[in-house]
Structure formats: C-alpha cells, structure tokens
Amino acid sequence: MAKKNIFTRAKKQKAQALFNEHRLDEAQELYQQICRTDKNDPEAWAMFGVIVGQLGQMTEAASYFQKAVTLRPDFAEAHYNLGKACKELGHLDKAASSYEAALRLQPDWPEALYNLGNILNLQGRMRDAEACYRRILSINPEYSKAYKILGNLLIALGDLDEAMDCFRSLEKIDPGSMDVKIGEAKILQRQGQVDQARAIAQQLIASDTKSLEVDFLYASLCNHEDAIALLEPWLAKKNWQGVESQQQVSLHFMLGDLYDKQDYFQQAFEHYLAANRLKARTYDIEALTSFIDRLISIFTPGFMSTAPRASHNSDSPIFILGMPRSGTTLVEQILSSHPDVFGAGELEDIRLITAQLLSVDEHGQPPSDCLGALTTQTCNQQADRYLKHLDKLSSASRYVTDKMPQNYLGLGVISLLFPRARIIHCKRNPVDTCLSCFSNDFGETHAYAYDLEVLGKYYREYQRIMYHWQAVLNIPMLDISYEALVADQEGMTRALLEYCNLEWDDRCLRFYDNKRTVTTLSYDQVRKPIYTRSIGRWKHYEPYLKPLIEVLGSATRTADI
C-alpha cells in the first residue's frame, strides 16, 4: 500500500508539472491513469476535471467535479469548480447550488460570492445577486469589479443614487477608470439627461479606447445610422480576443434592433439569428411537456372540486401573467399608476411555492400524488408566507401586482392559496409574441427562445396548459389582448380597473409618467405613450419565420386561448 501511495504521488507530481507547462493532453492522459488506479481519490478527480475543462470538455469536467464532491462533500474547491462548469453548460440552478455549497464551507470566499451573484443575476434574481456583491464588499472593500457590477445592477434596478455611490467608490480605488465614466453616463441616460450622457460617451470615443462597452454606450445615445457605422466594424475583426461571448451576443442583438428601426428587416433578422446561435444553450422541451402533462393529471376537475383551499380573505394579490413579451409590463405599469396599487414586478415566490407544494424532483417533475395530503392549514401557511412578502414590499397599498409571466404554470396552486385573487392573462398575436422573444436578449432565463422551432413548441405548451386552467379553475380571470389595449387604451383600462374593483383614475392613462422602477426588457417602452409599431411586426419577417410558423400551425393567426 505504501509503495502504491508513493507511486501515485509521483504520478501526481509529474501530471501537475505537465499541467503547469500547459502540456494538457499529456497531463490529461496521466490523470486518467491515476483515477483508474485509485477511483476514490477526490483530489485526483478534481484535478482531472480542471484539465479536461481547460481542454473544452465541460460535460466531462462537471462529471469529474461531481465525483470529487461525492467522495468528499467538504471539498470546497471542487464545489466551486463544479459551479463554473455547470455555468458554462447552461445549468444555472446546479451552478448556483454548487457555489452555495462552496460558500457554506468557506463563507468569506469573494470569487465564489461573485460568481454566485452573476448566476443569480442571469436568473433574474437581482436582489439576491445584489446581496452577494454587497457581501463581497463587506469582506474586501477593495474588490473593484464588485463595485462595477453592483453599480450596473443598481442602474437596472433603478437605484440610481446608490449606483453612483458604487462608481464613486470605484473611482477611489481606480482613479480615472473608464468604467466609472461609463457608469456615470448610463445613470445620466436613465435620468433623462441624454445630452450630458452623450458628452461623456463622446469623450470616451475620442480617447480611442477601442472598447466595445464604450461603443455600446455611444450607440445607445446617437442616431441609428451612426450607431450601425460604429458597431459594424467589430464584426470584421479576425478574432474576438478580449471580447466576452456575452458582448458578442449583445452586439448582434443591438445591431438587429438598429436595422429593425431602419426597416432593414433581412439584416435585422440575420443579427437576431446570429445572437441566438451564439448562446448555444439547449432547452429540454420534452421536460416542459412532461411537467404540463403532470399538472393536467394532478389538477383535474374532480380534484379542483374537492381540494382544500386557504381560508384567509385577502384579495391583495393581482397576478399578471402570460407569455413573455405579451404586454405584462404595460398592464402592470397602467395598474401601478393607480394610487391603490403597488407594482412589485416579477416575483419568484409562486414558482418556489409551487415547486415545494408539488414536491418537484431534481428533474423538475412532480409525482402524481403530490397533493394527496394537502390541507387547509398547509394552504394557509404558504399563502401567509407570500402575503408577508407583499406586505414588506408595500404595506400601505390595497393591491400589489405580481407580473411574473411564467406564473401561468402555477395557476393551479394560486387558485388554492388565493381564492379571491385577481388573475389578468395577457395575450398577443402568437407570432408577434414569439418574434419579440427571439429578438430580445433575456440573458440565460429563457433558453427556449434561442431556437424558432423550440420557441413555437414552447408557445403551444403554454397554450395547452392555459386551455386546461380555463376549463378547471373556478377563479375569475380577465383576458387582456395587447392589440385591443393599443387600439382602445381607455376602454381596456376601464375594463382593467373595473375587474380589479378600482375607481377610475386618469393617471392610469398617463402610465408613462409613472416613475416607478421597471427592471424588465420593457422598461424604456413603458416610459412612452402607447404606440402601434409592434402590432403585426412579424409580417416583415415572415420569410424567415417558417420553422416557427409551421410549429404554431393553427395558432399562428390568433391569440385566442
């Protein structure tokens, strides 16, 4: 045994030397031998993972890191590296849980906090991400990149004064930092001080920074033709050295939008297609189909007629849901312009409560008998948890809106926990809806939107479960057509307020004057009066949408559900 250990140590030392010399193929071969010899060596499996990861074999790397943490659960570095590999593979939930495991073992690890914050940010959990970045700065006030990313996050959240404080702190650590100037210009832009923001951007451009981030900033502030002329040369570069993959994605999305506004629809679509192909994330549409099959089998008419429900009398929540890009942000902005309504934005609570109540497994599937032991007490406990969160957000408002679009998957649970809640279902032409999803950068939260065929299948699954809910739920639901809202703003606004038992208020027609923070992709659009350009937009792109239109089939021309 002693000879074997000496032999293994010698091989490890040789393999480490090869790794240090960047002779990765040879190091990989040697670690493969080591792991075959001693299958229970967590350090060997972890190092094997590092090597194959650097060789681009991320699936194998993740499996080796998983082997390491299985053999040694307190192996913080292996948990951390598993998180990195899962992030590269697009498995964000697993990446987050791996970083959390590393942090339970080493709570003051700035890089783990930073990476976890980035994952949470990608998942749309912006306040949780904020907490990670603030934790880093409490550990190490000199951690400059945390100031930058926290500042940008706070801009997205609308906390502009705090964002400026972050950039001022960064300036003290890194005087003359370009990131400070970019941050300041973004804040001025959000505040409507476009001329001042443009002046800063022009100074940065004149300094010949050759920074894509600077060019993005200036392109968002100048006219469309100048923006295209500024950004197109980046595509001619022979390599993307120094340009992150997400920046490449953003470049194509921005150019797509610029060409779209110039009515150059072929060029626009080519950029949207390139952006989505660069994401290269797969979406398991079969898992969604299976999940919806389970929901339909669980929430049957018989179950819904006898199921226990919460006994509280709260009608505070207003749920605004539907497909993304179907008008949910606009509807919330209209309602939140009423003095009795607080707009809470997209809340994660219902998704988490639904997963807990349905005992969703690691594959995202609930067992068929998951609600067999459901009681009124359980419903009350879960409802109380949600209502307490709403109360923290706004205890003074009569109603609070939750506009998480994907809450349509949790409508069965919502009907049990909030029998008096109001449900507003936003609908829009299916092809316009899907095209808008395809032509916007959702980060990593909507992987189904990266491929037209998968996007069409996703829409049909959404349609299928909504048909089911409308057949089995006894909770009232108001359907709001985006097209009807645009055509008759006052009439549809009156219908909205009447459904929510709200008195008429003219401010709801002037929703664009509402200064509340909007953190979704529609934040800029709801600062303007209603416009019609987005209606029938898909017709400009019809020649390129064949995979989507074929999957949608009979749903193509109607938003009826």
Q: What CATH number is attached to the domain comprising 396?
A: 3.40.50.300
Q: Residue holding tokens 């559900």?
A: 561
Residue 131 lies in a domain: no
pLDDT, tens digit only, all 561 positions of the chain: 444 455 466 666 666 765 665 666 766 666 677 666 777 888 888 887 888 788 888 999 999 899 999 999 999 999 999 999 999 887 888 999 999 999 999 999 999 999 999 999 988 788 899 999 999 999 999 999 999 999 999 998 888 999 999 999 999 999 989 999 999 999 999 888 999 999 999 999 888 777 889 999 999 999 999 999 999 999 887 556 556 778 899 999 999 999 999 999 999 999 999 999 988 677 899 999 999 999 999 999 999 999 999 999 899 999 999 999 999 999 999 999 999 999 998 898 999 999 999 988 877 889 888 898 899 999 999 999 999 999 999 888 999 999 999 999 999 999 999 999 999 999 999 999 999 999 999 877 788 999 999 999 999 999 999 999 999 998 889 999 999 999 999 999 999 999 999 999 999 998 887 665 555 554 455 455 677 778 999 999 999 999 999 999 876 655 554
Task: Count how many domains the chain has.
Answer: 1
Residue 425 lies in a domain: yes
- Expressed as residue numbers, the domain containing 470 is 285-555
**Neighbouring C-beta atoms of residue 531, cutoff 10 Å:** 9
Residue 197 lies in a domain: no
Q: Residue holding tokens 């009447």?
A: 498
Please tell me whether residue 477 adopts helix, strand or coil conformation. strand
| Helix ranges, 409-530 (H) | 411-417, 430-438, 452-472, 482-487, 489-499
Written as one letter, the residue type at 65 is F
Residue 48 lies in a domain: no
| Dihedral class, residue 367 (left if φ above 0, else alpha if ψ from -120 to 50, else beta) | beta
Eight-state DSSP code of residue 326: S
Sheet holding 399-402, edge to edge: 341-343, 399-402, 317-322, 422-427, 477-481
Residue 488 lies in a domain: yes
Eight-state DSSP code of residue 516: -
Residue 349 lies in a domain: yes
Angle between helices 245-261 and 265-279 (to 10 degrees): 160
Please give the model's pTM, rounded to 2 decimal places: 0.83
Spatial distance between the Cα atoms of 554 and 550, rounded to a whole number of angstroms? 9
CA angle 88, 90, 96 (to 5 degrees): 90
Residue 88 lies in a domain: no
Residue 78 lies in a domain: no
- 441-445's contacts with Cβ under 8 Å and 24+ in sequence apart are 441/249, 441/250, 441/253, 441/275, 441/521, 442/324, 442/521, 443/121, 443/122, 443/124, 444/90, 444/92, 444/122, 444/123, 444/281, 445/122, 445/123, 445/124
Spatial distance between the Cα atoms of 495 and 503, rounded to a whole number of angstroms? 11
Spatial distance between the Cα atoms of 52 and 182, rounded to a whole number of angstroms? 37
Spatial distance between the Cα atoms of 374 and 189, rounded to a whole number of angstroms? 50
Eight-state DSSP code of residue 508: G
